[in-house]
Amino acid sequence: MTKKENTKAMNKKQILLIALAAAGGLVGGILCAGLVSGGVSFPSDKTNGGKTVLHAPAIAEHPSEKVEYDMVIKPQITSNIWYGEAAKAHEYLLSAKQKAGTAGGDYSDVSDALTGAITELGSFSRYFEYIDKLSYETNGKKYGAYVEDGDSPIGGGLGYKDIKTRGDYNVRTLSELTDALSKAKSGETVFIYGDAEINISSIIENGGHLSVGAGVTLASDRGRIRDDGTVSTGALIYSTTLKSYTMNVGEGGRVTGITLKGGDPDNHLAHHFRSFSANPPRGNNYYYSLSSISIYGISCDGDNIEVDNCEIGGYAYAGVSLAIDVKDAHVHHCYIHHNQGNGLGYGVVHGNGATSVIEYNLFNYNRHSIAATGKPTTGYIARFNIEMGASLEHCFDMHGGSDRGDGTNIAGTYCEMYNNTFLVDTYPYWLRGVPEDHQTFYQNIVFNPVSFYDKSRLTNSKAKFYDNIFGIDKMTLVK
């Protein structure tokens, strides 16, 4: 549904309710006390031994009023990890409130303001601005990321076709979860109720992690419509501990419908500069002394592992890591964002010899959304993914021999990138060597005109670059 269609689906009363309720409520945990008369009072400073002691301002309690709506607006992005700027979001909401009172039947400005608030709070970058240009068809051929009618949406969530609602073990707490995972056998499902929030920091602090056994499915219900019409974001598994990783998955295992939140969404640009670019640079030991730079979400430790319909964010090293020689991993219909520690920072990263298919995902705020070491037999297929607008460096990556220092120029065995949409200003990918077999990039949509890019970074003797749309505003076909 486009923004205009969304607006037409709401009448004046509904838009007013949304704008008024949103503008008068909580935004990202910040109480808008300044909107309430007498909301903030500052006590007199007191002294202690002649020194002034500052006290936090007293904020009068103003309980929120219950607001009922004529309809529940269904989210276009199912998310429970928010790193946006609340102050800017609140400015948009105040604007929506003001515009709703003077719209006179034209609510496009109100819709734009509400979309701006959602974009800021969710850090959705250019996604909604270009939602009508994510794919393009000409001469019977489709470019960019798209889904066929009736298929699951890119990024999963609401509308996903394979949402679990029960399992062989049904759990809500950390102790129940670890007990069920210890008992589950291949072919069984451990289901976490969608309203559960499980902090695993205590396990990680003691050197452990969650373990999903071979053939076991760990599931929740991200995207399920509840009885009251609201949408589940799936169980939240999170850690505030800035080390190690959240879970490992054995051969044939699956993780589906869950939100995984790490403790470090930062890009650490200053730390990386001090480590490698300062005069003098402090080096690798200093860089890795920041323990959070190595945290990651899921470690895939066997072949044929599936990660689907998950939201994964806040891991400075990687959201999903494929171990050495892991084959045929499948990462699809996920929303993977804010995994961006500079120097590392991957959405999905491949160890030596690992292979995968990565498709129908939303990516944002990763250093590289997909990366691989590039050792022989390493390869991946990336298709039907959307880069939403923010990437620290190029989006898709395959290391070459110079990166590994092994005396070769090998950049993986194969890499296929097609029908993706890149709303970023950085390069969609960057050649770092020569593939053993092939690399292809075709039928993609790239945000900037082709003149923006150095073609020597996009093509070589075994890396083919053809039949793409460049310049999203004019949709120029570059054969």
Give the pLDDT confidence of 262-315 residue by residue, as tens digits.
999 999 999 999 999 999 999 999 999 998 888 999 999 999 999 999 999 999
Q: What is the pLDDT of residue 66?
A: 76
Task: State yes or no: pLDDT of 2 exceeds 60.
Answer: no
* Residue 417 main-chain phi, psi, to 5 deg: -130, 110
d(CA 63, CA 196): 25
Task: State yes or no: pLDDT of 27 exceeds 60.
Answer: no
Task: State yes or no: pLDDT of 11 exceeds 60.
Answer: no
Q: What is the largest CA-CA distance in the chain?
A: 81
Give the pLDDT confidence of 374-430 residue by residue, as tens digits.
999 999 999 999 999 999 999 999 999 888 889 999 999 999 999 999 999 999 999
d(CA 305, CA 325): 13
d(CA 260, CA 209): 13
* Residue 285 main-chain phi, psi, to 5 deg: -60, -40
d(CA 99, CA 19): 9
- Pairing mode, strands 26-27 and 30-31: antiparallel
In the structure, what pLDDT confidence band is assigned to residue 68 with cuts at 50, 70 and 90? confident
In the structure, what pLDDT confidence band is assigned to residue 178 with cuts at 50, 70 and 90? very high
Arithmetic mean of pLDDT, 100-123? 85
**Averaged confidence pLDDT in the chain:** 89
Q: What is the pLDDT of residue 57?
A: 64
In the structure, what pLDDT confidence band is assigned to residue 25 with cuts at 50, 70 and 90? very low
Least confident window among 58-72, 92-106, 168-182: 58-72
The whole-model pTM stands at 0.87
Domains with residue ranges and CATH for the chain:
3-124 (no CATH), 169-478 (2.160.20.10)
Q: What is the pLDDT of residue 29?
A: 35
